[in-house]
Structure 1
């Protein structure tokens, strides 16, 4: 039976964790990226779809190419972060379901229904991006998920050879510089946005 995490773990994952705009010079290695993925991939998606397609921008060349697709405010974040991950979504994810969900013919649920595939790819790749963020935090890294980019330009630059893949969002990963953040924005009480039915 699962037990609640202790306060230190909850702080690291949620309560004191922040979205960083800048990072220290401490590197993030390819082994670190792989460790984050190995944890994040365990998060559930509908019928184990796993539609996210990730590009880990670690080289100066990849960072510059991605920064060119970003808003002026986000360009320096991408250029200075040790890693920026592009979280893409594959609308042809169903082609992999015979391997990923072998219990039944799940591929047939999506054959010929692009609208359903797009909705499902967006929903489940967003989940995977959130798992990626939490996995990075769990392993001692800081993150900065963001919009503020030209999705079509990112797709052209990084997914041109995969026409079924489109960008969902991007996220920096590193060891956060406390000077790069401002005071936490408000988090409302339960009653403001919740209803118990």
Structure 2
């Protein structure tokens, strides 16, 4: 069950607090299934090769994986480095909270509420920047010459991006019936 927040309702999933912060509720931040990565993105044997990478349900919804995203920074695009106590001031635009498994059409997604504090990112979201991409560490387990499984997923940040690898479904939603694929 989602948390209750106080603010002016902009849409079924977006509120604005009296201070002007944006609360994006029930945001799919990650999903199970296969996604494609270039070898250079994870140390694959062929840097420009395309690899099918599976995110197994047991790994995405593992208690430690879910807990690892709780309280993590929300960023405007991915930083070139992990977000740490030494650099969070440059990258942190909000916070990820109430991380949980989705239900219904989002049962294959990790869902969270995003509280956005940064005025520039709030303006971008209101203008339509909505897709989400998580920054994380994991183990890359080869399953064939061109396939891997991601194991032991541990969150570092959640980025609001122009175009995320996980597709349009993993995005800030406007309405209750928003079922982008």
Please report the TM-score for the alignment, with normalisation by the length of structure 2. Answer: 0.33
Structure (1/2) with the larger strand percentage: 2
Task: Say which structure is richer in helix.
Answer: 1
Which one scores higher on RCO, CA 8 angstroms, separation ≥ 6? 1
